[in-house]
Structure 1
């Protein structure tokens, strides 16, 4: 027995020793790719020495004698910190993920190949102005200099992920950067999926008037009646079930409601306490680890520029110079239309046009797949755009037999000069100059907020499609591609894009709300990203005669829900407790406690309070009860509660209270019945998930910001090192926006919000501040992987200064890039 015991001890010790050795080896190999920020390197490409000064937050301040050398330094810094992120984004745009990840990403590659954005990006290189071409080439050379250094010095393949997913890294090119701009446009576009959903709802509901309940228009003038989708395509079944397609791994296509959002507001000097213009901006995107944003300062010949960049793209997207500040919000411009193309019954390689049948423009494309045979696709284009796979957006559910679907989208331009416009704006010296320069901007459409020392402005930038007033569906549902009145007719004049300069009130802002009311086809959009946050923003802006940097920060971080304040009195009108207390431990008692808490609540979605969780669970359960009965499986598409839908139902607008009656039951249920039943549903769910002590609940336990690694985030053990989780305040409809996932088992997980925040004060520019939601580094062993995350969670910022002496005084490392041969 003792011999067996001794051998067991030896085996156990051996296994432990082996594990320790492996951990040390893995740590050593992964640590080889950690960049050394304090060194001198000789590289090929620059014309003179480049200095990259990193402050204690790892923000690079890049100094050089020429602008191309500055962009060389930015490319080098991006590749130092975010090489894995850059290469994965490039592979996504190319439709080449499956070469690394195998069959699981084939559906994503299929879509990107069909959209053909990488080839269009390559064609757009020649459309850029000379200054942008110089910057693109220099930036690419900077990335490639880092790649050469990794290869020459055996620096751990550049990123720890490369050991797990080893694949050759091709040199960076200007087309790669332009492709990432188009990839961002895809991530920020949601109108195609909205068209399909409207068509499916139209097919599902017996009463066409009810479509306006579940997919309500933003407040404002109504829209003329549209044809039913079944009238456009009579061959479709009345009830179109979804195809059951699962969401593809690493897909850049956002789920409904997550295509992009943001906040931005500005104040003129007479509305500023210090007498200078103010701008606050927080763009919203899906959370990842690391964040999509990367802070940087570029010292150009025209002056310093500092703000948020996206690795792979050589431009400051949101930030400031000493003369101009700019911020971005998603414009929700309707720049996508789906077209049902009729195939020639005698030749399926042809489709119908206004002039008869015409051959598809087609070519083969081979997808190489790791550990599987390659797949050959036939890419097809019509006059309207690329033909999409039926699995995308559940197109199979609304496509008649003998037809295919093509996409028109402004981002598919082969002459896309958006990056040239963004590049030129960094050197603009006034609001009017910046507006003029952005005429070259194509996609993704944005509301551009601007300030100089005297002026504030908001301008929609991006190509607005020109549509025929006789368009069958007004771009709201897929339409017949062979009818000339449905096809796009070029681009609207840039001067007609909404523009607001120096308003008399001295305050401008956008929360993705409806910014203009025009009749179709000058309407800009029927679908807007916000009907709620704007109400709270208006109140915060109008309750002060003058604003400061701190009041703008306060608005950015405001967690009060206008939606909760407006909806709770509606849905709980007949439920507030007025009688005797129920016995402890009963469901009625739980309901009384919940209603008592909510009655005294001010709508603040504070992470430490129980009321936000009770309220959110109640609305989610109510939404489910109202929709499931009418929509069946299609209710799964409505993961987030639309406050306008709930308001229409509980105010009985145009008979919308009919949603409260359960069709399958004999009694007629009232909206009060539905509210009571939904509250019980919510309390049962809370009890099973978080316990029955309602007063002890914390919203932050459910509303954790999920900055997950897109590839390693689900790997056991490793996920604890690569994912960044934080308890957060805010919610779906607060200015401190933290959009919830809507997906079980964690429906209130915070997955989409402000990855970047910046506030620029032109009364004292060096008091301007910014922050990102993770850290600068994409290397999970770096202390800069998550060092800014807790600052972001607490609502803190770091300085945004263009003072070179301050940058050098706070330096924790300085990299000198010397031209080879010196």
Structure 2
């Protein structure tokens, strides 16, 4: 027996040794790709030396002898820290994910090949101005210098993910950078999906009044009556709907998101007359999907026109939001309606033709091959009409609104081979004042944004991006798909830049946008029927008007504000007949639990603080209420409405134009009141809370449900590894607070924070070096680096790091200085 134990001990010891050796080898291989920040490197493609000073937060400050050398240095820094992210962004827009990930990404590749964004990016290189073309080439040389260094010095393939997914990396090209900007248009566009859902809902309800309730316009606007969608296409009467939701948005690698996550942001500015220190102020926090690493990368570049610092996107050589010595700029999603869906009629005698106002015409066709890992490649035939590319019926459920004998195509401003957006961004960085920045915006195409500006003297906001000109006789006004062969439905041209909304030097001295409606103009000058916010703007107005003058700190306070105007306005409506009514109920009964919940909510000020129980009760109640109100009318289509719509709920509980009829359950014999539905929904919410968090309402924490999910898009679901690559945090805020943490709305954790301000910046031109910024994770994309998540806790706590253009401050406590010298 002793001999047996001896051998068991030896075997166990050997296994431990082998395990330690295995972990050591793996760590060694993965750590080889960790960049060295303190070194001198000889590279090709430079005219003079470049110095990259990485400050204590690992923000690179790039100093080159010429502007082109500076862009070279930025490309090198991006590739040092975010190579995997850059490669994945490029593969995504090229429609080449399946070469690496196999069949799980084929549908994504198919859609992106049909859009042909990368082909248009290649065509767009030649239309940039000469300086931009040179800058793009210099940036590409910097990225490729890092690739050469990885190959020559065996730097672990450049990123740890490369060991798991072995594929060649082609040299970076100028078109790659333009293509990534086009990919942002995919992530920030919602109108295609909105049109399809509007048509599907129209067919399901068949009632104009109900449509005005469930898909309302932003308050303060009106629209002439739209036709019933089914009347445009009688063939749909015999076309049984599937209501099978496409899963393309569920794939973490997909750039296509549900309409609830199609971009959001906050930006506001104050003129010197409203600033305590007498200088202009600007704050910006763009909202995108939370990932690890974040999409944003902080950087400073020194150009001949002065230093520029702020948020960049790896792969793109521009500061998207930030400041120079004389100018600050921020961006928010404008929600301009830049997409239209067309239903194209096929020639019944020749499916290779489609109907136009001048008769049948051949599709423009092209074949493309999609390579699939461990599978045979597939050949895809791309078809284009005069309106745009033909899309598959599975994309955002287009098949539901496309009758037999027809196909759907999409017109979109981003589908341009003469896209000068990169030139606009480059000129914006060089602008010295608001007027020059406004002129730079003239060249911007897509994605449409609101550009918030501040120089030493004034502030301004301009909607930038190509805006389609629509005919006044457009049969659906762009709110739902229209007939592609009707001339009045087609885009005759783009509107002039001067027609884009513009606000310069406002009398009140303050400008702001929270994706709210910016203009109230009639169709076709309306800009959009869909806006991203009807709620946060009210809280912002309150905070701005509560002070005669503002400071950097008051702007930070507004960025971090967690009070929900929605909760304050809706709870008195939906609970008006439930507060303080009824007799005391025994402990342990549903009635007693409901009373406890109502008692908590009655004393709550609407603050969505992570440590409070009331936000969770409120959020669960609204979610259950939305389901109760719409499920009987919409059936399976109700699952498309993943988040409570405050405007819809207010219409119902104020009984605007008879909207309270939504409270009556159609399938029941009795007539339910809105109070009945509110009570039933609260009981539903409390049952859900009990199942997931227990019955002790006072000890609930909103932050337990509202976890920020900074997940790695590829490795985030891998067992064990996910604990190293994902970042999870308890967070405050919610769907409708200025500190916006958009909830997932689906699945077992519907209140996870999945979409928010991955970048925040506040710029004070009375004391520019007191400006601050932060991103949601860290600068490095390497999960073994201490800079992978070192900024995330600051971000969670609402803290910032300095945003200074002083080289001496950058060098103080720098984590390293990289010198690139000509070889």
Q: Do Structure 1 and Structure 2 share a fold, with TM-score over 0.5? A: yes
The SS at the match of 1:411 is: coil
TM-score by length of 1: 0.99
Say if 1:203 and 1:239, in contact at 8 Å, map to a contact too: no
The worse-fitting range, judged by mean Cα deviation, of 803-812 and 71-80 is 803-812
Say if 1:203 and 1:240, in contact at 8 Å, map to a contact too: no
Q: Look up the match of 2:794.
A: 791
Alignment of 1:626-645 (within 5 A): 626-645=629-648
Q: Look up the match of 1:526.
A: 529
What do residues 497-528 of structure 1 show as CA deviations (whole Å, max 9, x unaligned)?
Answer: 00000010000000000000001000000000
Q: Distance in 1 between matches of 2:243 and 2:582?
A: 47
Q: Look up the match of 1:240.
A: 241
Selected match of 2:381 from 362, 366, 378: 378
Alignment of 1:189-204 (within 5 A): 189-204=189-204
Say if 2:108 and 2:248, in contact at 8 Å, map to a contact too: no
Q: Look up the match of 1:120.
A: 120
Say if 2:248 and 2:256, in contact at 8 Å, map to a contact too: no
Q: Distance in 1 between matches of 2:134 and 2:45?
A: 12
Q: Distance in 1 between matches of 2:738 and 2:87?
A: 33
What do residues 582-610 of structure 1 show as CA deviations (whole Å, max 9, x unaligned)?
Answer: 11111111111100000000000000000
Q: Look up the match of 2:56.
A: 56
Say if 2:334 and 2:515, in contact at 8 Å, map to a contact too: yes
Q: Look up the match of 2:562.
A: 559
The SS at the match of 2:571 is: helix
Q: Look up the match of 2:429.
A: 426
Q: Distance in 2 between matches of 1:317 and 1:722?
A: 26
Q: Distance in 1 between matches of 2:526 and 2:197?
A: 20
Q: Distance in 2 between matches of 1:640 and 1:579?
A: 31
The SS at the match of 1:680 is: helix
Shift of 1:21: 2.0
The SS at the match of 1:372 is: coil
Q: Distance in 2 between matches of 1:15 and 1:371?
A: 34
Runs of 4+ in 1 over 6 A off after TM superposition: none
The SS at the match of 2:163 is: helix
Q: Look up the match of 2:224.
A: 224
Alignment of 1:270-281 (within 5 A): 270-281=273-284
Shift of 1:8: 4.1
Shift of 1:720: 0.3
Q: Distance in 1 between matches of 2:546 and 2:696?
A: 38
Selected match of 1:334 from 326, 332, 337: 337
Selected match of 1:294 from 289, 294, 297: 297
Q: Distance in 1 between matches of 2:170 and 2:663?
A: 58
Say if 2:107 and 2:248, in contact at 8 Å, map to a contact too: no
Q: Look up the match of 2:42.
A: 42
CA 1:555–1:244: 2 relative to 1, 3 Å: closer
Say if 1:243 and 1:396, in contact at 8 Å, map to a contact too: no
Say if 2:31 and 2:784, in contact at 8 Å, map to a contact too: yes
Say if 1:241 and 1:633, in contact at 8 Å, map to a contact too: no
Shift of 1:220: 1.0
What do residues 751-800 of structure 1 show as CA deviations (whole Å, max 9, x unaligned)?
Answer: 00000000000000000000000000000000000000000000000000
Q: Distance in 1 between matches of 2:10 and 2:245?
A: 53
What do residues 638-688 of structure 1 show as CA deviations (whole Å, max 9, x unaligned)?
Answer: 111110010011111111111111111111111101000110110011011
Alignment of 1:242-281 (within 5 A): 242-247=243-248, 249=251, 250-281=253-284
What do residues 355-414 of structure 1 show as CA deviations (whole Å, max 9, x unaligned)?
Answer: 111111111000000011101000110000111111101011110001111110000110
Q: Distance in 1 between matches of 2:813 and 2:520?
A: 49
Shift of 1:109: 0.3
Q: Distance in 2 between matches of 1:328 and 1:432?
A: 17
Shift of 1:242: 2.0
Q: Distance in 2 between matches of 1:239 and 1:287?
A: 38
Q: Look up the match of 2:520.
A: 517
**Is there any run of 5+ residues in structure 2 with no aligned partner, and where?**
none
Q: Look up the match of 1:362.
A: 365
Alignment of 1:304-319 (within 5 A): 304-319=307-322
Q: Look up the match of 2:327.
A: 324
Shift of 1:18: 2.7
TM-score by length of 2: 0.99
Q: Look up the match of 1:502.
A: 505
Q: Look up the match of 2:392.
A: 389
Q: Distance in 2 between matches of 1:607 and 1:214?
A: 30
Q: Distance in 2 between matches of 1:472 and 1:394?
A: 22
The SS at the match of 1:379 is: strand
2:815 is the alignment partner of 1:804: no
Q: Distance in 2 between matches of 1:9 and 1:212?
A: 75
What do residues 706-733 of structure 1 show as CA deviations (whole Å, max 9, x unaligned)?
Answer: 0000000011100000000111000000
Q: Look up the match of 1:771.
A: 774
Shift of 1:578: 3.6
Say if 2:206 and 2:228, in contact at 8 Å, map to a contact too: no
Q: Look up the match of 1:80.
A: 80
The SS at the match of 1:811 is: coil
Q: Look up the match of 1:161.
A: 161
Shift of 1:12: 3.4
Selected match of 2:546 from 529, 543, 548: 543
The worse-fitting range, judged by mean Cα deviation, of 199-208 and 177-186 is 199-208
2:183 is the alignment partner of 1:180: no
Shift of 1:247: 2.8
Shift of 1:7: 4.3
Say if 1:241 and 1:634, in contact at 8 Å, map to a contact too: no
Q: Distance in 2 between matches of 1:771 and 1:451?
A: 20
CA 1:590–1:374: 2 relative to 1, 3 Å: same
Q: Look up the match of 1:19.
A: 19
Q: Distance in 1 between matches of 2:165 and 2:367?
A: 27
Say if 1:204 and 1:240, in contact at 8 Å, map to a contact too: no
The SS at the match of 2:563 is: coil
2:723 is the alignment partner of 1:720: yes
The SS at the match of 1:315 is: coil
Shift of 1:239: 6.6
Q: Distance in 2 between matches of 1:24 and 1:399?
A: 57
**Is there any run of 5+ residues in structure 1 with no aligned partner, and where?**
none
Q: Distance in 1 between matches of 2:383 and 2:557?
A: 51
The SS at the match of 1:692 is: coil
Say if 2:468 and 2:491, in contact at 8 Å, map to a contact too: yes
Q: Distance in 2 between matches of 1:654 and 1:315?
A: 49
2:396 is the alignment partner of 1:403: no
Q: Distance in 1 between matches of 2:379 and 2:3?
A: 62
What do residues 64-100 of structure 1 show as CA deviations (whole Å, max 9, x unaligned)?
Answer: 1100000000000000000000000000000000000
Q: Distance in 2 between matches of 1:392 and 1:399?
A: 12
Say if 1:363 and 1:379, in contact at 8 Å, map to a contact too: yes
Say if 1:557 and 1:736, in contact at 8 Å, map to a contact too: yes
Selected match of 1:449 from 445, 448, 452: 452
Q: Distance in 2 between matches of 1:305 and 1:810?
A: 21
Alignment of 1:611-622 (within 5 A): 611-622=614-625
Shift of 1:241: 3.2
Selected match of 1:489 from 488, 492, 495: 492
The SS at the match of 2:317 is: strand
The worse-fitting range, judged by mean Cα deviation, of 810-819 and 455-464 is 810-819
The worse-fitting range, judged by mean Cα deviation, of 237-246 and 789-798 is 237-246
2:704 is the alignment partner of 1:708: no
Selected match of 1:604 from 600, 607, 610: 607
Alignment of 1:659-808 (within 5 A): 659-808=662-811
Q: Distance in 1 between matches of 2:641 and 2:172?
A: 40
